[in-house]
Structure 1
């Protein structure tokens, strides 16, 4: 079970260290430091919920960090516009209609990150949940 230790610095301020045995008994000691006791307690609960493992997606010393975007990843609307531009066998008016539909509807697809930040959908981050949310909100 993870515990919290209050550490007092030379200047008198406190930090809070969450410590646990990685994987439980027989594991190695792991720790993460926080400035706020509430954040430390929240993290302690996460470690306990993850069976004495680092929480999924947590980067030691940084917290929950979205992975760097793949350089080949593109916004969903850009990909859809390129797709429409490459269609063959359609007249210019149909192409314009498709572009308008991309701008009107596909641009509404968003992707909420693990941290709660809502960002535009990309080819690399879009999920089935994002599409279901979009279908439920299309005008």
Structure 2
């Protein structure tokens, strides 16, 4: 669980320090306003008490290099089903149908709010939660 500590300056202004423990070590990041600190605290908590992917201490989000072997989650699922052994053609087609109907809805929301295709490297717990909620909405809408 992250917390925010206000650090008053001599000139009367304040900085806001987000603090949390990661792997037993204290981690901190400093912000010039409460709103930015609140937003970052939420990101740390959404990433299970870890530095958010793509965040560089003192700099914020920076563009990350491409991850070797990364692919869309959809392509990974198709590849996985294609490599399964011990199943008949009908089962394989059923799995592919489930991928088209359900896994195709999985997407990733960047920290900026931009929606991009989910990949093996960028998929987060929040993305999966949003996907499950969207599937729940689909099932209740049809009943």
Extract unaligned runs of 5+ from structure 2: 1-8, 10-16, 18-30, 41-53, 139-143
Q: How many residues align?
A: 93
Larger CA Rg, structure 1 vs 2:
1
Query: What is the TM-score when the length of structure 1 is the normalising length?
Result: 0.56
Q: RMSD of the alignment, in Å?
A: 3.0
2:100 to 98, 103, 111: 103
Q: What is aligned with 1:45? A: 33
Query: What is the TM-score when the length of structure 2 is the normalising length?
Result: 0.54
Is the CA contact 1:110–1:119 (under 8 Å) kept in the aligned structure 2? Answer: yes
Q: What is aligned with 1:123? A: 120
Give structure 1 regions of 4+ aligned residues with deviation exceeding 4 angstroms: 58-61
Q: Distance in 2 between matches of 1:112 and 1:66?
A: 15
Cα distance, 1:95–1:103 mapped onto 2, change above 3 Å: same
Q: Distance in 2 between matches of 1:98 and 1:104?
A: 10
Summarize deviations over 1:47-79 as a string: whole Å, max 9, x none. Answer: x848xxxxx826999x73331220211100000
